[in-house]
Every structure is written in C-alpha cells, then in structure tokens.
Amino acid sequence: MSTVNKIVSREEALKKVREWKSRGKKIVFSNGCFDIVHAGHVDYLEKARTKGDKLVLGINTDSSVTRLKGKDRPVFNEKYRAQVMAAFEFIDLVVPFEEDTPMELIRLLIPDVLVKGKDYDIKNIVGADFVMQHGGKVETIELTEGLSTSYIIERIKSLD
C-alpha cells in the first residue's frame, strides 16, 4: 500500500477498522504529533505494532500541534508528518485529528489495544477508561532514553 493510501479520514479509518475487525484482526491505536521523527519514535511504534495485527496512528493536525506545543510548532506541516509516518511498514493507517486529544477518534474506532509511552500513567492516558470499558487493553511501552523531539530542537538551537 502506498503512503498516500494509508493517510485516511476518520470515515475511511472507521470503514477499514470495521473490515479488519470482521476478519478477526486485533486493532492497536496510538497517537502523537510526530513533528521531527527519530529513532525513539520508530522503536516505540514498532513495539506498539507487536501488540496486535494492525496499527492505526492518530496524528495531530498543525493547529492542534500549535495549541499543544506552542507557536513555533510544528516544524513540519501535517501533510509531511503524515507522509513520513505512513511510510513505515508497521503502520497500517494514519488518521489526522484536529482536537487536542484523540478521544473522539478512539471513541469512533474502539481499538482493541491503546498504546502510549511509559512516560504516561495508564490512569492519565486519554481514552484508557473507554477502551477498557469496551473490553480492550491499555499498554505502555518503554521509551528510548535521551530521544525526544523537544530535545532534538534544543540541541539544534544550541549549535548556533
């Protein structure tokens, strides 16, 4: 599947997820800004994919990233960020979302597994209660130490 075909609307994602579920596939969901993609993202998302059969990635739109991270973000626009994420073979769908949290998307897709990094406590993960109430699981994955987009941006700024 080409990267363009993996970037879909909510409606397209729902249709695909329903199709996968009807075939007995386990759906994993994660989300983030993925502004400057690094090895930590790759490691985390590869591990997330092992939690099920299909990985659906919610990605914040530009306006959402700006509200969450500040006026200087995102570094790359949502089209480019989505394309980069869709290029990974272990990601099956990329779904942009405008809201500050992926809650609406989680409610729509009802994933079998919700995954975030270990920097989150399960009780603070958006959508965790909803997923568990619908028979799903919430898992956290160890992050690669010393790698974050914020760290990379600060490191680049310090090179001046």
Which stretch of DSSP H or E encloses residue 94? Answer: strand 93-97
pLDDT confidence of residue 146: 66
List, for residues 109-120, the tens digit of each pLDDT value.
999 999 998 888
Which stretch of DSSP H or E encloses residue 115? Answer: strand 113-117
Q: Which amino acid is it at 8?
A: V
Mean pLDDT to the nearest integer, 1-24: 94
What domains can be seen in the chain, in order of their start residue?
3-158 (3.40.50.620)
Distance CA 96, CA 101 (A): 11
pLDDT confidence of residue 142: 86
Distance CA 124, CA 5 (A): 32
List, for residues 142-152, the tens digit of each pLDDT value.
876 766 666 77
Q: Assign 26 to helix, strand or coil.
A: coil
- Residue in 29, 30, 40 with CA at minimum distance from that of residue 150: 40
Q: Which residues pair with 116 in a beta bridge?
A: 140
Distance CA 60, CA 79 (A): 11
Distance CA 78, CA 70 (A): 15
Q: Over 90: is that where the pLDDT of 97 sits?
A: yes
List, for residues 26-65, the tens digit of each pLDDT value.
999 999 999 889 888 999 999 999 999 999 999 999 999 9
Determine whether 146 is exposed, middle or buried from the number of CB atoms within 10 Å of its CB (0-12, 13-18, 19+): exposed
